[in-house]
Structure 1
Amino acid sequence: MATSIDPLVLGRVIGDVVDMFIPTATMSVYFGPKHITNGCPIKPSTAVNPPRVNISGNSNELYTLVMTDPDAPSPSEPNMREWVHWIVVDIPGGTNPSQGKEIVPYMDPRPPMGIHRYIFVLFRQNSPVGMMVQPPTSRANFSTRMFAGYLHLGLPVATVYFNAQKEPASRRH
């Protein structure tokens, strides 16, 4: 009998970025027509603009979305772990991040070396947090766990990640 291993455990998302959790919401992430599934490869050139994110839930529920790279600057020496790429708070359920308050503007993936994991973590809020949140002073050495603790967000309700690596320079002249 085959056993399946959770892709978030296999990809070390659980452990490196978040603790074990039970998904209780649905989050769909798309770069153009490409639907993000755990561990799928995405070319950085595909992810220059913020993704389209659809969040389940009712409009009376609020969510926080964090996008982070735990492999900065390189997977073998992630001494800038985590590099925060995007934070949006107060997103109404059943909508998308454009309906929330952007705390950290979207930054596209720019992996300098190796294969990086880019992780979207969704939290359900207990109440509006927009007025409480100060943007981090640096994108480097961010901690999704500490951020969630500061805002009393608890465990994530949904997480999805993709892999990206530096694209070869164009050979066109």
Structure 2
Amino acid sequence: MNRQAIRQLATVSSTAPSASSSNSSTSPTSWKLPIEPGIEPAYDEAIKLINEQSSLLQQQLASLKSEVEKAPLHSPERALAEANLHATSIISQINDPEVRWRFKMDKNVPLSNPVFAHLREKSWRDKSLPRLLERARLMRVVPDAISDLTPTADVQVAFGEGSGIHDHGGEAGDVTVGCFVDANKSMKEPTITVTPFHTEECLYTLALVDLDAPDVENDRLSTYAHWLVHNVPLSVTKTQVQIKPEQIALSYIPPHPQNGTKYHRYGLLLFKQDESKAITPAQGIERKAHSVRDLVEEHKLHPCGLHFWRAQWSQESRKSISKVYKDILQVKEPIFTSELA
């Protein structure tokens, strides 16, 4: 078997444990080779090659770290040295079958390890991102929320704890992008997890908007801002969104789709702030007919992430929606008998 074939075998065998390994490997800490040494010579040779290559690259890491330390801060030389160190760290582990197995079995692998961050991003780009873009375009969240978007961060939303809210129902937990969430489940702020895939800590803005809010005065649908938060620090190792009062430009108002309207699309938009400069939350921001474009231009924001769900008035959610109008908005609840354009 030539070296190219061995490399291919090594890559394939490292992506997941074989069926024979399921009996001996039942948790993320009990990994062992799926094929015992001596049974398959080609596999043994592949593992040997992987270990040899990894050992050589591990030896290079020390000198690469030294190059980073010697280079001046914020210089092109340091940026190049850091990029080389990062790439070599990934390559030195990427074909290790134990690394691949651990990533597959343990959803809480430390993203501080470059190889796990790389695998996490690859998994997102290969699986979740295409589905997000497909649904966002099919349901016209793009361009209705924002004219164009190339996501670079994974945005996840959860309401409460549970097995998830998905296309076929569900009471609580992670929300599948584009599915229906009853308004009675979104009375409290969602738990938001953002994975931006960069190691440095940067500041972000989050905006939750209803893309189908009735604008009675102009006889049309417009955008309504439910929530606006600035200066959220995030990195690949700091992914939980934790909001302080001083970060809030618009406090959270629960989704309240009106009786007589079609389903509403609720988009959670993520923006990277320019050069991580803090934004002072403005006062008196209009919720009605809210312009995402104006927000982006005013603060020089860079759209980089999206999640969305849908909701519609129903008998099950009517009490929660009425409560929003009575206790939060303190206005009479409208009932629509004709559709707005």
| TM-score normalised per structure 1 | 0.85
* Unaligned stretches of 5+ residues in structure 1: none
| 2:191 aligned to which of 37, 48, 52 | 52
Quickly say closer, same or farther: Cα 1:59–1:104, change in 2 above 3 A. farther
- Cα separation, 2, equivalents of 1:20 and 1:144: 12
- Report the counterpart of residue 25 of structure 1 in structure 2: 153
Helix, strand or coil: the match of 1:37?
coil
Amino-acid identity (%): 26
Query: Quick check: 1:124–1:157 contact (8 Å CA) kept in 2?
Result: yes
CA RMSD of aligned residues (A): 2.4
Structure 1 residue 102 displacement after superposition: 1.0
Indicate yes or no: 2:140 matched with 1:12. yes
Structure 1 residue 147 displacement after superposition: 0.5
Query: Quick check: 2:231–2:278 contact (8 Å CA) kept in 1?
Result: yes
- Which letter maps to 1:109? P
- Cα separation, 2, equivalents of 1:11 and 1:103: 28
| 1:157 aligned to which of 304, 316, 319 | 304
- Cα separation, 2, equivalents of 1:118 and 1:14: 12
Q: Which of the two has greater strand per residue? A: 1
Q: After superposition, what is the alpha-carbon deviation per residue over 1:123-172, rounded to whole angstroms, capped at 9, x for unaligned?
A: 111223332x4145421000112101110013x211011000112147xx
Q: Which of the two has greater helix per residue? A: 2
- Cα separation, 1, equivalents of 2:283 and 2:152: 27
Aligned pairs for 1:1-173 (under 5 A) are: 6-33=134-161, 34-57=173-196, 58=199, 60-73=201-214, 79=220, 81-93=222-234, 94=238, 95-99=240-244, 101-112=247-258, 113-126=261-274, 127-131=276-280, 133-154=281-302, 156-168=303-315, 169=318
- Cα separation, 2, equivalents of 1:67 and 1:78: 23
Q: After superposition, what is the alpha-carbon deviation per residue over 1:69-106, rounded to whole angstroms, capped at 9, x for unaligned?
A: 010128xx973511000001100102304257111000
Quickly say closer, same or farther: Cα 1:49–1:21, change in 2 above 3 A. same
- Cα separation, 1, equivalents of 2:136 and 2:243: 26
- Which letter maps to 1:153? L
- Cα separation, 2, equivalents of 1:12 and 1:108: 22
Q: Highest CA radius of gyration, 1 or 2?
A: 2
Helix, strand or coil: the match of 2:266?
strand
